Amino acid sequence: MLTMHAAIIIPFIVAAFIPFLAKRLKTLHIGWFVLLVPFGLFILLASYIPEIADGEIFLQTIHWIPSYDINFTTYMDGLSMILGLLITGVGALVVLYSIYYLSPEESLKHFYVFLLLFMGAMLGLVLSDNILVLYVFWELTSISSFLLIAFWYHRKRSREGAEKSLLITVSGGFAMLVGFIMLYVMTGTFSVREIIREVSQYTDHTLFLPAMVLILIGAFTKSAQFPFHIWLPDAMEAPTPVSAYLHSATMVKAGIYLVARFTPVFGGEALWFWLVGGVGCLTLFWGSFNAVKQTDLKALLAYSTVSQLGMIMTMFGIGSAALYYGYTTESVIYTQAIFAALFHLVNHSTFKGALFMVIGIVDHEVGTRDIRKLGGLVTLMPITFTISLIGSFSMAGLPPFNGFLSKEMFFTSVLTMSEMNIFSMETWGVLFPVIAWVASVFTFIYSMIIVFKAFFGPYQLGKLERPGHEPPIGMLIAPAVLGLIVVGLFFFPNMLGNNLLKPAVAGIFPTFPEDELGMKITPWHGFNTELFMTIGVVSAGLLLYLTLRYWKGIYRLFPEKWTFNVLFRYVLDQLEIKSRVVTDSYMTGFLRDYFVYIFLFFSILIGGALIYTGAFDFEVSGNAPISVYEWILAVVMMVAGISILFAKSRLTAILLNGVLGYSIAVFFVLFRAPDLALTQVGIETVTTVLFLVSYYFLPEWQKENTPKRTKGLNILISLSVGAVFIIVALAAQSGKLFETISGYYENSYQLAGGKNIVNTILGDFRAFDTMLEVVVLLIAGIGVYSFVKSKSKKGGHNLED
Amino acid sequence: MYKPNDLILRTTTSIIVFILLGFSIYLLLAGHNSPGGGFIGGLMTASAILLLYISYGSKAIEKILPINYRLLIPIGLLIALGTGIGSFFFNVPFLSQTFTYVQIPFFGKMELATAMLFDVGVYVTVLGVTLTIILSISRDQKS
């Protein structure tokens, strides 16, 4: 039974066929076919709910690279199930919505191919057990999200948003990969389940904390946590269905999923608690604070998503404390934070998806989503208004919507957290409820902005492109379904809680008895601190909303250039400018400079190695005596060599070069090498003739007009190269390690039937070298011939171009 | 019109060329046992032919020696490669050379070696390459 694999692969297969389908079917919107995929997968996954609720898990393996322990293993428990249902369920609704949202003139096949790629990648991510396979799907979601954000690629802002999100999420992905590899180094397995089982032995390992931090960086970048949240508002340039699907319901939950998956691995560590809880809390506040000042509704929703993700993250941080205590009756209370987090994860996907869709409808119908232009749409778009009311009030945490339940549970968690006495929470713990409460007030304010600024107030027809009216009914189905779920979850929260959330929490706390986990969600829980906090949020929020225009000035206290966006842009620009400067400084385009690098490198490396290793050893005792002829020849060659440097004409230089060559031939004679001497004389003659031939064509010999300093440097470098060569030669000849092997060749007459050792070596013992040297000659000959022959005729076009 | 009269040059050339050619053949054949070999033999032959070009001019020489020197390069290479490939037929590694002695009337005992064939390949290639290079450059100069 490989249903899970099928669920992952089907979107990819369908994506491959979409272009063909789109070509065949001109009349029908291609989205209707695509709709079948998430809908069918949703039914398929939902059919496993009863088994999952009973605590069963499904594990399937397909071998991929068994020799490296990389296998395509899927693992479905409550957590994967929740995410899987969200991906396919919201996916189906988004596809339905996009059918009406995107006009057939758009390049729909690209849109649906990208969307299906994303869906398959996301399913693969949540269902994978092997962390490397998980990483593969992780990057696939980044890439498909990049493609979707830049769907309208002719817009500059789309491209910039796509680039930014790719840079940030992929950098995080790389960090995560490194963390995964560290985990493998520690535990020796890529399987998440096995890592969870093994990891308790490695908590003191030096790689344990780095792996944790790196994996968290991956999760934070993907889930838009502070300060990596900056890509999410810019990703709002994508079509609205994409924003609703990727940037509120699914992809940004990937980081949350990762944190949840790895809580059993790293949870219980103080650093994990502080990073997840602290960063989450900071993000919660920062996102809600910034959402209030936005004028674009989608940007507002983006910051609100950031804030809500921070809230979920905070609860995961709190819940991880349960693993520090281990199982006791008291510590079970912390697991409820994770339960609340998962509950809010589902809630957020429903109401945020619905909100994005209604904003999309407003944008689609009146042509703007700027709240300064919107207003008075309540009578024109009553259904849209109702859905956005449900979504916003749920987001603000008001009854009778599911956001109320999760917000109450969130308050319970932060209150429990403030009473903790570990991880130095005695001093800092009180901060968490305060920040959470303040952030909730801001959340309330921006939720009200969505409802009241967009739908009430004066109707400004002059500023709108089109007069507002209700969209086609098909466009309303998807947000209406989500709105119904939002209300339904308030009245029947335990259906979700018992069937899905409980097994998911059980999976995160494998050491806890399952009956103790989970909790009964009740809409009414008596007059307790949480309820008073909510009442406080509502009253403070109302007060602040009504006085918004008096205190809005505080947003101008921070200058615009102090944002993380500006910092990000600045860092990117500076990287480009500085690397340009560095490259330009050494890639001068002058061959002379490159020779300087090569020779400098040579003398520093070889000379440095000689000095560093102390290999230089000067030994002359075994050397042969130097005869008079050799002295004379050496002096002649020195004179000729030095004279070349001072030659005034090219002809002199060529002739002096010939002197050097013939002297070498004489040296060969002196050193008893007749074959070499013969060849040297022949070749020297030929080269001198060729020099003279080309001399005819060359321009006048000009002294290079180089500055004195460069000249001095040249002299220094050439002297050092010469010195290094001499030292190496002397060192090599004095350190004889073993006897010569030339004794073997002295038997050439017996072995090869020739008395000329040189010739038998060239033609017989090592004929392969000779053959290839003949090939070199062939290449040289062909080269010269084709250079001479294939040049362009006068007036003809230039072949060199 | 000035016309050079290089009678002495031409006369001496016709004698010297044969000495040069003979010497180059000697170098090629003697290479196995004395200094010499295919490379220097090829160079020497090439210089003999160049001498002919210098003293009689290219028009006359092209009529006497209608050889496409470019073609000599692959031919020589094929000969050298052939001696290597030939060793496969005797189930020995590439380029294994062998030799034997045969009795020939008049000349007595002679040594025949496959290495000599290889040398011939080198000889032909060197001859072809040298002449190709020098002739194509000098012709280019004229045009």
A115: left (phi over 0), alpha (psi -120 to 50) or beta: alpha
> What pLDDT, in 10s, does the model give residues B49-72?
988 888 888 888 888 888 888 888
Tell me if residue A156 falls in helix, strand or coil.
helix
Cα–Cα dist A417/A422, whole Å: 10
Cα–Cα dist A8/A793, whole Å: 63
With a pLDDT cut of 90, the percent of chain B lying above it is: 18
CA A668 vs. chain centroid, Å, equals 63
Please report, for residues A407, B125, B132, the alpha-carbon distance to residue A340 in angstroms, rounded to integers and kept in the order given: 9, 86, 87
Cα–Cα dist A442/A555, whole Å: 13
Residues in chain A, pLDDT under 70: 1, 421-426, 468, 515-526, 558-561, 701-706, 735-736, 791-801
Please report, for residues A84, A208, A319, A565, the alpha-carbon distance to residue A260 in angstroms, rounded to integers and kept in the order given: 14, 18, 10, 29
Q: ipTM of the predicted structure? A: 0.88
Tokens of A120: 């398959």
Which residues numbered 684-713 in A keep a CB inside 8 Å of some CB on B? 685-686, 689-690, 693-694, 696
Q: Which residue of A has its CA nearest to B43?
A: A682
Q: Which pLDDT does position A801 carry in this prediction?
A: 44
Strands (E), A49-172: 58-65, 70-76
Tell me if residue A9 falls in helix, strand or coil.
helix
Q: Does B87 touch chain A (CB under 8 A)?
A: no
The answer to whether A354 and A479 are in contact (CB under 8 A) is yes
The answer to whether A336 and A321 are in contact (CB under 8 A) is no
Q: Which pLDDT does position A704 carry in this prediction?
A: 61
Tell me if residue B113 falls in helix, strand or coil.
strand
Question: Shortest Cα distance from A641 to chain B (angstroms)?
Answer: 27
Residues in chain A closer than 8 A to B122 (CB atoms): 763, 770, 774
Residues in chain A closer than 8 A to B97 (CB atoms): 752, 763-764, 767
> What pLDDT, in 10s, does the model give residues B125-140?
999 998 888 888 877 7
Q: Which pLDDT does position B1 carry in this prediction?
A: 52
- Residues in Cβ contact with A750 at an 8 Å cutoff, skipping those fewer than 6 apart: none
Question: Helical H runs in B31-68?
Answer: 38-64
Q: Which pLDDT does position A430 carry in this prediction?
A: 77
In this structure, what is the dihedral angle of CA atoms A66, A67, A70, A74, given to the nearest 10 degrees?
20
Cα–Cα dist A198/A176, whole Å: 20
Residues in chain B closer than 8 A to A754 (CB atoms): 32-33, 99, 113, 115
Query: B16 pLDDT band (50/70/90 cuts)?
Result: very high
Q: Does A675 touch chain B (CB under 8 A)?
A: yes
Please report, for residues A167, A617, A619, A623, A733, the alpha-carbon distance to residue A730 in angstroms, rounded to integers and kept in the order given: 55, 8, 8, 11, 5
Peptide bond into A19 cis (omega under 30): no
Test A767 with B35 for CB contact under 8 angstroms: no
Q: Does B31 touch chain A (CB under 8 A)?
A: yes
Q: Does B40 touch chain A (CB under 8 A)?
A: yes
Q: Does B51 touch chain A (CB under 8 A)?
A: no
Q: Which pLDDT does position A473 carry in this prediction?
A: 83
- Residues in Cβ contact with A453 at an 8 Å cutoff, skipping those fewer than 6 apart: A371, A374, A375
Strands (E), A50-126: 58-65, 70-76
Please determine, for residue B42, whether its predicted confidence score (pLDDT) is greater than 50. Answer: yes
Test B115 with A780 for CB contact under 8 angstroms: no
Test B35 with A689 for CB contact under 8 angstroms: no
Q: Which pLDDT does position A521 carry in this prediction?
A: 67
B66: left (phi over 0), alpha (psi -120 to 50) or beta: beta
Test A788 with B136 for CB contact under 8 angstroms: yes
Q: Which pLDDT does position A140 carry in this prediction?
A: 93
Q: E strand or H helix at B104, and its extent?
A: strand B99-104
Cα–Cα dist A785/A323, whole Å: 80
Cα–Cα dist A240/A281, whole Å: 28
Q: Which pLDDT does position A719 carry in this prediction?
A: 92
